[in-house]
Each structure stands twice: as C-alpha cells, then as structure tokens.
C-alpha cells in the first residue's frame, strides 16, 4: 500500500504532456492528507483516497490529445480509462478500481459527490482552485464557496486558515 509508485507513474505521464499538472496533483494530495489526518482516516481507505488525489486529473492528457481541450467534461470522460491503465499491477480490487474511476470520472460534478472519499477529493481540489483568487478582494465570495462546499471539519478549518483573512 505504497503510494510512491503511483506518484512516479503520474509524474512520468504528465512530464512529457502537461508538466505543470504534477505540482497540482501533489498539492491536492497534500490537502487530502491534511484533511485525512484531521478526520482520522487511515489504512486502506487513506491509500485509496491518496491514489484518487494523485490521479484525479490524469484524463487531461488524452483530453488534450483527442479534443485539443482539457476542460472538465473531457477530463472526466478520459480520466477513468487512463487511471485504470496506470493502476494496473497496484493490487487494487475490482470494487476499489471502480470507485476510484467513478470519482475521477465525476470529479468536476458536485452533484455526484456521494461519500467521504469523494468529499475529501472535492475539498482538496477545490482548495487549489480557490487559492488562485485574490484574497484581499474576494473574501465574501470565498466565504460563500467555503460554506457551501466544505463539509468535513478539517477541510473547513484548512480552507478558512488558508483563504479567510481575520
């Protein structure tokens, strides 16, 4: 249950196509780990959520190649097959693989969030998107998005710590 091989595969996949995505994937993983620490998520569940975070945007590669666009719907369409290929040989059960593919295939669609694993991925990824706003001029908007989207206690605390000015 070592996530390092999956990190290496993600890096080599993005390296030659969209290298800027490597840091994003690692940042989302870091956010997910902080949330999982706070929520007491350990063992297999922690590994599976970590793998999801590492690979969540992997569909961008084929989306870019096939459609010339990495927009959300194309990423979601291309993500599951790409993730499955990279996870070959990592010892995942069919159910685990299916769950990871479901989350990756819907990771831009909030109405599809249906469990703690998906919720953590949602918060970890959204946090990176929200960091891009100018904190000084976006406090009201950020507060609104945070209140609507962050449902884990640790995710909410992390978002407020990073984004909200006192």
Residues 26-55 that bind Fe ion (CB under 5 A): none
* Shortest CB 85 distance to Fe ion, Å: 19
Cβ-proximal residues to 31 (8 Å cutoff; 6+ apart), any chain: 53, 123, 124, 125, 127, 128, 158
Handedness of CA 42, 99, 16, 29 (dihedral sign): negative
Please name the residues in contact with 128: beta carbons below 8 A apart, sequence gap of 6 or more. 24, 27, 28, 31
**Backbone region of residue 123 per phi and psi (left: phi > 0; alpha: psi in -120 to 50; beta: other values):** alpha
CB of 153 to Fe ion, least distance (A): 22
Specify the residue, 131 or 143, whose C-beta has the smaller distance to Fe ion. Answer: 131
Candidates 35, 80, 125, 127: give the one binding Fe ion (CB under 5 A).
125
Q: How many helices (H) and strands (E) does the chain have?
A: 9, 0
- Terminal Cα-to-Cα distance of the chain (whole angstroms): 40
The region of 37-45, 59-67, 71-79, 124-132 touching Fe ion under the rule CB under 5 A is 124-132
Measured from the CB atom, is 117 or 125 closer to Fe ion?
A: 125
- Cα Rg, the chain, nearest whole Å: 16
The interface region with Fe ion, picked from 35-43, 64-72, 111-119, 122-130 by CB under 5 A, is 122-130
Rounded to a whole number of angstroms, the minimum distance from the CB of residue 36 to Fe ion is: 17
The residue among 57 and 117 lying less far from Fe ion, judged by its C-beta, is 57
Smallest gap from residue 69 Cβ to Fe ion (A)? 15
If binding is defined by CB under 5 A, does position 57 make contact with Fe ion? yes
Residues lying near Fe ion in the complex (CB under 5 A) are found at 57, 125
């Amino acid at each position: 249950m070592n996530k390092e091989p999956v990190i290496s595969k993600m890096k080599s996949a993005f390296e030659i196509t969209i290298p800027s995505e490597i840091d994003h994937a690692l940042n989302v993983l870091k956010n997910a780990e902080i949330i999982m620490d706070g929520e007491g998520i350990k063992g297999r569940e922690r590994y599976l959520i970590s793998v999801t975070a590492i690979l969540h945007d992997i569909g961008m590669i084929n989306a870019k190649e096939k459609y010339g666009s990495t927009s959300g719907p194309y990423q979601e369409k291309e993500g599951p097959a790409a993730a499955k290929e990279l996870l070959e040989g990592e010892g995942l059960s069919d159910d685990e693989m299916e769950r990871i593919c479901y989350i990756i295939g819907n990771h831009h669609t909030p109405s599809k969030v249906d469990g703690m694993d998906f919720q953590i991925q949602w918060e970890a990824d959204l946090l990176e998107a929200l960091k891009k706003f100018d904190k000084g001029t976006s406090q009201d908007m950020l507060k609104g998005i945070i209140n609507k989207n962050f449902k884990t206690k640790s995710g909410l605390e992390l978002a407020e710590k990073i984004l909200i000015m006192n």
